[in-house]
Every structure is written in structure tokens, then in C-alpha cells.
């Protein structure tokens, strides 16, 4: 382990005295900055967009600096406010109301953001879906949420199993020459006719705004439900952790289908009225550097996978670009290797600030702050207002330097408020007043937290969370596959890759072509990132006597580790 400590960053910080602030801080104090503290009228869309659009000094500021290989566009706060008003009117016209689930299945574009805020403005619940999802992933989420409206594009409509979605009343299609089907609505036609005026639906802080589906180790993906109150923590961490100031140009690489792409790709920068860079499409190292240079990005929030790719593409690529504007760099989603931090100091002369949190937590919790030393390999310390600890399986705190469950004292402002349609799952997260994360970690004597791994079988591949059960279920749908067990296998660039062990049905021979066919089957049915990169055919898959796949054992075999207790193994 690289124990070299990196000193605090010099200069002004939005959170200068960490210890003192922690002692005196309460979330109540932070509420004073919001208009609803006086008016009692709440909507996160108002605080993020309309408030700036109404401010003569802010309305013409660029809110969204969008680019993709095909298109470039700058959208001001005023325009985003008006466009989202129009979309809110379209939703109202089709009888969409507070609490209804409205899903977005599309790539990032200016239309996405107008639609997203339109949904929030009517008090409905937005469900953004990752654009790489295939039919089954889309079906599971739209069925479980009983979505009423879906917004999508002609390129993606074929992945929507329309016959299996009885609750889906309308599909709003963003594209030209929209087919004339009863359920279809032509986005451009409706938007052209819609009014720019809309009186926003004022909601309660505890009313829902967002559903993010995420994977556990068992069952289908779960709908993590977030409420407007989360804005308090988005706002606080935008200042303390992202270190945003009025004139910053900020870029978060995450897709809004994942929680980082909403909490920090949408809410955090716009709650502070900061210019937000969005780049559509997949990225190469050149694309990343080019986007940073062209937009003069000052604050960049990305993932270890991306940073590792930048490290491996070398200095020659970096030397082509002028990144002198970049002043603050952050990472999330998987362990940040100390070597990458060392690279950041050498190649960019910047500290890389790791941040830890989850879909369920709604916002950053344990972080490296500009005003604190970085201990490379550590996720940092809990933000003010958050109590973090390491607990045993009964929820009792354990002493420093001992590994256990990473846990957070509940509640906090951005915490999920339920799992959609699954109260018992929701309750299972909490033990003795602690939210238990499923990650193992330890805390050192200085109060720094060190991530050790997942305690369950959830796979983290390139920062994307994949449930082994979903992949196994999909594998079993292939006619050749009799049994399947799926694990995450350590990988130097992707963190983990997905490895599937399968047994074959009678009549099928193990061959490269067959394995490739099975891989493609998962890729086109579920999504590219869920397709196993490695596959191995076995005579049998280890199971417990009650029939549960023993992934732990598969993993030990794969890595050549001791197999531990195998007393429950089926004969
Ligand atoms: O295992 C932890 C890992 O990602 C999980 C949460 O994944 P997801 O809900 O998709 O949210 C990702 C982004 C908020 C965690 O349980 N993880 C997240 N951040 C870190 C991390 N692992 C190590 N270091 C981190 N900084």
C-alpha cells in the first residue's frame, strides 16, 4: 500500500475547517439557503432551473454545454426553464399527474434535460434508463414501476416490449416521421404547440422525484426511490466536495441512467447555477481530453475506469491537449488505486478526490475534501452531518482498524425513502439504526475509511453495478444452457469483469462459436455491460443443499483461494 500522504490543497475552499464544521453543523442550517424555507413552496426543478431563469443576472448564463459526435448546443437557464415548462404542459395534456412514473429511455441530449425537468415540474417521478439497456432490462423496470409514460427515440423503440406493458399509456417519441400508432406521441409536434408558461406543481419535501433501478445479489433490479428533500445534500456536497463556485465549468461523465448522472450530472451543479458540460456517446481518451480542453472544464467528476484508461494511454496523448483550466478532479464508483492518484499528481499536478456513496444513499457520504490530506487508497472521511462507522452483523460498532460492515447512521437528507413495491427489502438495509451498505471496510485511527470489497455477490464492472442473478437468469434462457453461476473476476482496467460458469444441456457441444452465441444472447437481451467477458463450461455448478448457487466457491476456485466452509455444499 502506498502510504505517502498528499497534503491539503492550497487556496480557498468552500469547507475550510472540516473538524469545526462537523461539530457545529446541522442539516437545518443548510435549509436557510432555499426559497422554500420562506415560501413553503418546494420543487427541486424550481431550485435547480427556474430560480436562475428568474434571476436577470443568471438567466442568459449557459446551463447546459452539450456536445456529441453529431451535435453541439448551448442552452441557457432561461431556455431550459421554458423548454421544461413546455414539456410539463405536454405531460399534463396527456393526463399525467403528481406521483405518476414517467420514464426516459434515450441518450443524453438537450431534449433529455427538458423532459427530465418537465417531469419534475408536474410532481411526477422520473425514471431514467441507461441507453444501453436491451429488451429485458427495459421490460423489468417499466413493469415494476408501472410506468405510465415513456420518452424514447426511434433508435431505441424496438427494445420496448410494448405488448407486455399494460400500464404504459403513451410513448413520446423524439424523432422525425414518427409512426402513427395510437400510443405514440410526436415530441416535436407537441412541443411546438405547447405553451412556455407553466405553473409548477409545489410538492412536499418528502414527495418522490426519482426512481433509479439498481442490482443486488438476488432477484430483479430494485427501484430505489428518492424524494425532493435530497436537494439539501446535493447542494451541500456541490459546494464542499465538488468545490463548485459561480464561474466554474463542471463536467460529470456519468450517464443519467445511473445515480451519479442525476445527483451530480444534473442536480448538484444546477442547484448552484453552474455551467454543466454534457457529452453524449461513448468516450475514448482523446474524447475525454478534448472535451476538457474545448469546454475549459475546471471541475471534473469521473470514474476510476476512465482514469485508468487515461493512465494507460500515456503521456503522448495527454501532451496534445491544454488542460490548464482544470483545477479539481474527483472519482466515484469503484476503488481508486493509489497508483492512479500518483499519476494524477505527476501528469496533471492535481489531487484526485475519491468519493464513496451508492444509489441508495442518493448523495456523497464519505469523501476526500480539498482541505484535507489525501491518504491514497482511502475513500476519505464522512461529510459534516453524516455519521459513518464500521459495525458487526448485529449493528454494533467495532474498533478502528478492524474490518466490518460499512454503515451510516440513518437518516440523512438524500437517503432513499423506499424500494418500490418492496418494503421488506427496504427494511433489510437497516440494523440497529444503521444503514448497512453491503461494503466491507475499516476505519483507521485518523478517521479515514478504507474500502475492502463487497460483502455480497454484486459485481462492479467499470463502475457499473451488475447483479449476478440477472445475468444467470438470462443465461438460462439460452437453449444450450442448463445451469449458470456468475462472478466478478478482478481486472486491472475494469475493476472486475463478469465471468460465467455454465453447464450445457444434452445435445450441445462446447465450442467457441456456441460460447460466443451465448455471450451475444446476454448482450442483446440484457445489455452490453452485463455480458460475460469470460465463460467456462463445467460438468456441474456448486450449489447449497437448498439449491442456491455457491458463487463464493466459484470465485475461490477461479482465484485459487482457500474455499472456506463448504459444509452446505450439495453432494
Ligand atoms: O461497492 C461500492 C462501490 O459501488 C457501490 C455502489 O454502486 P452504485 O449504487 O452503482 O453507485 C455508484 C456511484 C454512487 C458501492 O456499494 N463504490 C462506490 N464508490 C466507491 C465504491 N467502491 C470503492 N470506492 C468508492 N469510492
Task: Give tens-digit pLDDT for 265-293.
Answer: 999 999 999 999 999 887 899 999 999 99
Q: In angstroms, rounded to a whole number, what is the distance separating the alpha carbons of residues 398 and 386?
A: 18
**Is pLDDT of 478 > 80?**
yes
Which residues neighbour 38 within 8 Å (Cβ) at sequence distance 6 or greater? Answer: none
Give, in order, the Cα–Cα distances in Å from 43 to each of 46, 49, 264, 517: 5, 10, 18, 48
- The residue whose CA is least distant from atom 21 of ligand 1 is 334
Give yes or no for a contact between 251 and 295, defined as CB atoms under 8 angstroms apart. yes
Q: 457 CB less than 6 Å from ligand 1?
A: no
Q: Which of these, 219, 213, 216, lies nearest to 457 by C-alpha position?
A: 216
Q: In what order do the strands lie in the sheet with 381-382?
A: 71-76, 62-68, 275-279, 249-252, 299-302, 328-332, 352-356, 366-367, 381-382
Which residues neighbour 568 within 8 Å (Cβ) at sequence distance 6 or greater? Answer: 544, 545, 546, 550
Which residues neighbour 297 within 8 Å (Cβ) at sequence distance 6 or greater? Answer: 249, 250, 251, 277, 291, 325, 326
DSSP 8-state symbol, 164: G
pLDDT at 566: 75
What's the gap in Å between 356 CA and the centre of ligand 1?
A: 6
What's the gap in Å between 332 CA and the centre of ligand 1?
A: 7
Task: Give tens-digit pLDDT for 103-161.
Answer: 999 999 999 999 999 999 999 999 999 999 999 999 999 999 999 999 999 999 999 99
Q: Helix or strand or coil: residue 162?
A: helix
Q: What is the mean pLDDT of residues 337-351?
A: 95
- All three cell numbers of 10, joined, read 492550497
**Is pLDDT of 564 > 80?**
no
**Is pLDDT of 519 > 50?**
yes
What's the gap in Å between 407 CA and the centre of ligand 1?
A: 13
DSSP string, 267-283: IHHHHTT-EEEEE-S--
Query: Residue 263 CA: which ligand 1 atom is closest?
Result: 14
Q: In angstroms, rounded to a whole number, what is the distance separating the alpha carbons of residues 217 and 489?
A: 15
Q: 214 CB less than 6 Å from ligand 1?
A: yes
Count Cβ atoms within 10 A of the Cβ of residue 296 and give its class: 0-12 exposed, 13-18 middle, 19 or more buried. Answer: middle
Q: In angstroms, rounded to a whole number, what is the distance separating the alpha carbons of residues 463 and 496?
A: 9
Task: Give tens-digit pLDDT for 386-415.
Answer: 999 999 999 999 999 999 999 999 999 999
**Is pLDDT of 1 > 50?**
no
- All three cell numbers of 195, joined, read 405553451
Q: 437 CB less than 6 Å from ligand 1?
A: yes
Q: Which of these, 424, 359, 415, lies nearest to 387 by C-alpha position?
A: 415
Q: What is the mean pLDDT of the chain?
A: 95
Q: In angstroms, rounded to a whole number, what is the distance separating the alpha carbons of residues 14 and 541?
A: 53
Q: Helix or strand or coil: residue 549?
A: strand
Q: Which domains does the chain have, with CATH numbers?
A: 459-559 (3.30.300.30)
- The residue whose CA is least distant from atom 6 of ligand 1 is 358
Q: What is the percent of the chain where pLDDT is above 70?
A: 99
Q: 144 CB less than 6 Å from ligand 1?
A: no
- The residue whose CA is least distant from atom 4 of ligand 1 is 333
Give yes or no for a contact between 542 and 570, defined as CB atoms under 8 angstroms apart. yes
Q: Examine the predicted complex and report whether its ipTM is higher than 0.90.
A: yes
Q: How confident is the model at residue 218 (pLDDT cuts 50, 70, 90)?
A: confident
Looking at the DSSP assignment, which residues form a beta bridge with residue 534? 499
What's the gap in Å between 147 CA and the centre of ligand 1?
A: 27
What's the gap in Å between 439 CA and the centre of ligand 1?
A: 9
Please report the sign of the dihedral spanned by the C-alpha atoms of residue 33, residue 37, residue 42, residue 46: negative
pLDDT at 3: 57
Q: In angstroms, rounded to a whole number, what is the distance separating the alpha carbons of residues 413 and 209?
A: 14
DSSP 8-state symbol, 393: T
Looking at the DSSP assignment, which residues form a beta bridge with residue 502? 484, 537
Q: 451 CB less than 6 Å from ligand 1?
A: yes
Mutate to test the pocket of ligand 1, among 210, 259, 334, 335 (most ligand atoms within 8 A of CB): 334
- The residue whose CA is least distant from atom 11 of ligand 1 is 358
Q: Helix or strand or coil: residue 418?
A: strand
Q: 462 CB less than 6 Å from ligand 1?
A: no
- Residue count of the chain, please give it: 571
What's the gap in Å between 127 CA and the centre of ligand 1?
A: 20
In the chain the first and final C-alpha atoms are separated, in Å, by: 41
Q: What is the mean pLDDT of residues 424-453?
A: 97
**Is pLDDT of 2 > 50?**
no
E-strand stretches of 324-379 = 328-332, 352-356, 366-367
Query: Residue 359 CA: which ligand 1 atom is closest?
Result: 9
**Is pLDDT of 216 > 90?**
no
Mutate to test the pocket of ligand 1, among 233, 341, 453, 465 (most ligand atoms within 8 A of CB): 465
- The residue whose CA is least distant from atom 26 of ligand 1 is 356
Question: Which residue has better confidence, 237 or 456?
Answer: 237
Q: 454 CB less than 6 Å from ligand 1?
A: yes
Task: Give tens-digit pLDDT for 494-518.
Answer: 999 999 999 999 999 999 999 999 9
189 phi, psi to nearest 5 deg: -60, -45
Amino acid at each position: 500500500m502506498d502510504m505517502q500522504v498528499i497534503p491539503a490543497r492550497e487556496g480557498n475552499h468552500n469547507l475550510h475547517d472540516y473538524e469545526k464544521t462537523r461539530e457545529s453543523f446541522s442539516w437545518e442550517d443548510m435549509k436557510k439557503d432555499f426559497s422554500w424555507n420562506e415560501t413553503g413552496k418546494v420543487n427541486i426543478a424550481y431550485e435547480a432551473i427556474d430560480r436562475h431563469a428568474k434571476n436577470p443576472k443568471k438567466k442568459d448564463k449557459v446551463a447546459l454545454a452539450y456536445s456529441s459526435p453529431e451535435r453541439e448546443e448551448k442552452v441557457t437557464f432561461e431556455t431550459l426553464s421554458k423548454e421544461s415548462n413546455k414539456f410539463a404542459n405536454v405531460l399534463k395534456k396527456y393526463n399525467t399527474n403528481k406521483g405518476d412514473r414517467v420514464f426516459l429511455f434515450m441518450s443524453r441530449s438537450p431534449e433529455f434535460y427538458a423532459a427530465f425537468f418537465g417531469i419534475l415540474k408536474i410532481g411526477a417521478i422520473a425514471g431514467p434508463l441507461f441507453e444501453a439497456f436491451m429488451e429485458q432490462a427495459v421490460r423489468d423496470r417499466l413493469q415494476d414501476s408501472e410506468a405510465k409514460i415513456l420518452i424514447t427515440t426511434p433508435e431505441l423503440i424496438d427494445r420496448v416490449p410494448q405488448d407486455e406493458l399494460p400500464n404504459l399509456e403513451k410513448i413520446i417519441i423524439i424523432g422525425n416521421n414518427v409512426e402513427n400508432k395510437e400510443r405514440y406521441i410526436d415530441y416535436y409536434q407537441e412541443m411546438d404547440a405547447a405553451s412556455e408558461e407553466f405553473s409548477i406543481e409545489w410538492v412536499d419535501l418528502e414527495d418522490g422525484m426519482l426512481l433509479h433501478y439498481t442490482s443486488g445479489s438476488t432477484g430483479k433490479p430494485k427501484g430505489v426511490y428518492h424524494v425532493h428533500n435530497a436537494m439539501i445534500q446535493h447542494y451541500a456536497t456541490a459546494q464542499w466536495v465538488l468545490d463548485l463556485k459561480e464561474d466554474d465549468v463542471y463536467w460529470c461523465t456519468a450517464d443519467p441512467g445511473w445515480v451519479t448522472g442525476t445527483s451530480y450530472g444534473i442536480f448538484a451543479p444546477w442547484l448552484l447555477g453552474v455551467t454543466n458540460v454534457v457529452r453524449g456517446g461513448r468516450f475514448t481518451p482523446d474524447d475525454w481530453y478534448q472535451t476538457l480542453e474545448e469546454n475549459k472544464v475546471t471541475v471534473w467528476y469521473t470514474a476510476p475506469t476512465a482514469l485508468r484508461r487515461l493512465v494507460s494511454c500515456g503521456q503522448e496523448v495527454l501532451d496534445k491537449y491544454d488542460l490548464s483550466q482544470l483545477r479539481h478532479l474527483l472519482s466515484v464508483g469503484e476503488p481508486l488505486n493509489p497508483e492512479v492518484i500518483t499519476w494524477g499528481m505527476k501528469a496533471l499536478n492535481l489531487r484526485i478526490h475519491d468519493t464513496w456513496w451508492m444509489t441508495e444513499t442518493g448523495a456523497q457520504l464519505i469523501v476526500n475534501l480539498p482541505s484535507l490530506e489525501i491518504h491514497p487508497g482511502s475513500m476519505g472521511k464522512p461529510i459534516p452531518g453524516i455519521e459513518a462507522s464500521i459495525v458487526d452483523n448485529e449493528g454494533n460498532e467495532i474498533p478502528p482498524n478492524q474490518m466490518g460492515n460499512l454503515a451510516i447512521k440513518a437518516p440523512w437528507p438524500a437517503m432513499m425513502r423506499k424500494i418500490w413495491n418492496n418494503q421488506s427489502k427496504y427494511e433489510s438495509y437497516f440494523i440497529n439504526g444503521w444503514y448497512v451498505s453491503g461494503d466491507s471496510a475499516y476505519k483507521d485511527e485518523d478517521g479515514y475509511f478504507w474500502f475492502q470489497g463487497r460483502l455480497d455477490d454484486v459485481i462492479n464492472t467499470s463502475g457499473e453495478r451488475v447483479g449476478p442473478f440477472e445475468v444467470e437468469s438470462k443465461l438460462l434462457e439460452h437453449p444450450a444452457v442448463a445451469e449458470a453461476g456468475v462472478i466478478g473476476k478482478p481486472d486491472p482496467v475494469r475493476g472486475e469483469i463478469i465471468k460465467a460458469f455454465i453447464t450445457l444441456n444434452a445435445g450441445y457441444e462446447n465450442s467457441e462459436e456456441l460460447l460466443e452465441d451465448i455471450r451475444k444472447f446476454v448482450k442483446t437481451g440484457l445489455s452490453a455491460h452485463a455480458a460475460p467477458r469470460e465463460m467456462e463450461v463445467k460438468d456441474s455448478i456448486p450449489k447449497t443443499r437448498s439449491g442456491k448457487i455457491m458463487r463464493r466457491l466459484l470465485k475461490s476456485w477461479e482465484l485459487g483461494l482457500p474455499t472456506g466452509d463448504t459444509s452446505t455444499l450439495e453432494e
